[in-house]
A and B are shown apart, each in its own frame.
Chain A
Amino acid sequence: MMHTIRLPTILRVHAGGDSSVTACGSTVGEAFSDMGRRYPALASQLLDPDGSVPVFVNVFLNDEDIRYLKGLDTPITQPSEITVLPSVAGG
């Protein structure tokens, strides 16, 4: 099952400048692993060495924050959109 992972500007450099990449998996974690195989630099920014999501990275499955679902174990049952939300402070 193919999903779209939307990337913030700051990380697009690790995906050839694209605003999103596609990845397969039946959980958010599996989709990230699949992404990491093709974009290792991207995965290293989005995941800690132990494979967890750093606290300053927000990940949404469709419109919902995976922190309040099952984190990286959140199942994905249909082609979905995963949004990596940057924490920005510019004004």
Chain B
Amino acid sequence: MVTFQDLLRKVKAQIREVTPAEVEPRLGDEDLLWLDVREHEEYEQGAIPGAHLIPRGLLETSISMQVPDPDKEIVVYCAGGARSALAALSLQELGYENVVSMSGGFGQWKAEGRPWSEPVTLSSDQKVRYSRHTMLPEVGEEGQAKLLNSRVLLVGAGGLGSPAALYLAAAGVGVLGVVDFDVVDASNLQRQILHNMDRLGHSKAESARETLTALNPDVKVEPYGERLSAANVLEVMSGYDLVVDGGDNFPTRYLVNDASLHLRIPVVHGAIFRFEGQASVFHPYQGPCYRCLFPQPPPPELAPSCAEAGVLGVLPGIIGSIEAMEAIKLLLGIGDPLVGKLLTYDALTEDFRILNLRRNPDCLACADESRPPAIVEYDQYCMPAGSVARTV
């Protein structure tokens, strides 16, 4: 029979330990994972900023899912340095090559006045609802809390807006604004899955609110049952973290683009026609804008609407879902959003492609950052009226 102290000595002889002072300079270094192996209750009372929680009891069963790279640099810590030593040895035995245990644990870290924070925590219901998100290291409870505190505006509650809104609501985006002046028509239901037969004739924005809050009561829906216009676009869009454009006409798309340049809000773009779809992210002044790509719209005969030309109902499901994915990536700050890239999809050939987009140095909308375009009502030609000095 050996004592715990004997066991710990033996374990520590087989691992590497570092002091808080030695590792603090690595705070914020994305190549390094801070792994907190304490229990939830301990973690919630304070943790090293950016630390990822895997309680000691779940470590061996879940580490390979959450940290698939065996070469990842990992600093393991607990409250005092014992559990982290045991955890570090387990990780070594599982094949993780670059693991160290922080001696003295969070207790010493905190006592020495090093930075820590109280992680934003989820309620017990939220932990269950979002568990498949939070087990992703790229999301975690911190990322989920970020989504819950995010505000996204959906322009259009139609074919693209429906799947985008449903997935954003399911993902727990805290506030979803929905702009749509239209009412639900039977011909919408082949693709606009936010709505149903009971809502025929009802406001689409209001129908969206009913569907989304029934799906997830964490989400507050702000319906705007009005047409987006030069008079209201800045007021409606301001205060949102990003816009998901699911509009169905060129004038609205140019208007949203202009307002996004004024407010510096990224626009997740999606557009569809019959069997073809496109998606991109227009991030003001960081990449091209909508007018860089399409300086002016085509003549109406070359760009009939879905109502005129038809659209296969699944197509907006695919492109709207891609828009939701891009929105979540932007909100979480993960991956490579489609900034400066246009994804094109041809449903008939099942062909996805990515085209490179450039910022147009002569763009009438975004070339001069200090003078965004004047907010005007567009006709079918969608030509800008000029620019105005930045006031915001």
A63 at the interface (CB under 8 A from B): yes
Q: Give chain A interface residues in 57-82, CB to chain B under 8 Å.
A: 57-58, 60, 63-65, 67-68
For the complex formed, measure the closest distance between the CB of B258 and the CB atoms of chain A, giving whole angstroms. Answer: 15
Residues of B close to A67: CB separation below 8 A: 358, 360
Pair A87/B294 contact, Cβ less than 8 Å: yes
Most buried by A among B294, B348, B358, B360: B294
Pair A9/B274 contact, Cβ less than 8 Å: yes
**How many A residues touch the partner, as a band?**
20 to 34
CA gap between A60 and B156 in the complex, in Å = 29
CA gap between A43 and B289 in the complex, in Å = 28
A45 at the interface (CB under 8 A from B): yes
Residues of A close to B344: CB separation below 8 A: 83, 85
Pair A65/B273 contact, Cβ less than 8 Å: no
A90 at the interface (CB under 8 A from B): yes
Q: Which residue of B lies closest to A88 (CB)?
A: B273
Pair A10/B273 contact, Cβ less than 8 Å: yes
CA gap between A60 and B341 in the complex, in Å = 12
A51 at the interface (CB under 8 A from B): no
Pair A88/B272 contact, Cβ less than 8 Å: yes
Pair B161/A63 contact, Cβ less than 8 Å: no
For the complex formed, measure the closest distance between the CB of B380 and the CB atoms of chain A, giving whole angstroms. Answer: 11
Residues of B close to A58: CB separation below 8 A: 293-294
Most buried by B among A8, A65, A89: A89
B50 at the interface (CB under 8 A from A): no
Pair A65/B355 contact, Cβ less than 8 Å: yes
Asked whether A88 and B276 contact (CB < 8 A) given A56-B302, A83-B355, the answer is yes
Asked whether A90 and B271 contact (CB < 8 A) given A56-B297, A65-B358, A85-B342, the answer is yes
Pair B296/A90 contact, Cβ less than 8 Å: no
Residues of A close to B311: CB separation below 8 A: 90
A52 at the interface (CB under 8 A from B): no
Q: Which residue of A lies closest to B249 (CB)?
A: A89
CA gap between A66 and B342 in the complex, in Å = 15
Residues of B close to A90: CB separation below 8 A: 159, 248, 271-273, 305-306, 309, 311
Q: Give chain B interface residues in 84-110, CB to chain A under 8 Å.
A: none
For the complex formed, measure the closest distance between the CB of A41 and the CB atoms of chain B, giving whole angstroms. Answer: 13
Residues of B close to A87: CB separation below 8 A: 250, 294, 297-298, 303
* A to B contact number (C-beta, < 8 Å): 94
Residues of B close to A64: CB separation below 8 A: 355-356
Pair A68/B358 contact, Cβ less than 8 Å: yes
Pair B273/A63 contact, Cβ less than 8 Å: no
**B contacts with A, residue count (CB < 8 A):** 47
Pair B295/A88 contact, Cβ less than 8 Å: no
Residues of A close to B299: CB separation below 8 A: 56
Asked whether A88 and B278 contact (CB < 8 A) given A19-B346, A19-B349, A56-B294, the answer is yes
Residues of B close to A60: CB separation below 8 A: 355
Q: Which residue of A lies closest to B323 (CB)?
A: A91
For the complex formed, measure the closest distance between the CB of A6 and the CB atoms of chain B, giving whole angstroms. Answer: 8
For the complex formed, measure the closest distance between the CB of B161 and the CB atoms of chain A, giving whole angstroms. Answer: 7
Residues of A close to B271: CB separation below 8 A: 88-91
**In the complex, per-residue mask of B222-263: 1 if CB is within 8 Å of any chain A CB, else 0:** 000000000000000000000001111110010000000000
A40 at the interface (CB under 8 A from B): no
CA gap between A89 and B316 in the complex, in Å = 12
**Choice from B158, B249, B273 contacting A9 with Cβ under 8 Å:** B273
CA gap between A56 and B161 in the complex, in Å = 25
CA gap between A58 and B357 in the complex, in Å = 11
For the complex formed, measure the closest distance between the CB of B365 and the CB atoms of chain A, giving whole angstroms. Answer: 14
Residues of A close to B156: CB separation below 8 A: 91
Pair B303/A63 contact, Cβ less than 8 Å: no
CA gap between A83 and B245 in the complex, in Å = 24
For the complex formed, measure the closest distance between the CB of A15 and the CB atoms of chain B, giving whole angstroms. Answer: 14
Residues of B close to A91: CB separation below 8 A: 156, 158-161, 245-248, 270-272, 306, 316
A selection of 9 A-B contacts at a CB cut-off of 8 Å is: A10-B303, A83-B344, A88-B278, A89-B249, A89-B303, A91-B160, A91-B270, A91-B271, A91-B272
Interface residues of B (CB under 8 A from A): 156, 158-161, 245-250, 253, 270-276, 278, 293-299, 302-306, 309, 311, 316, 342, 344, 346, 348-349, 353-358, 360
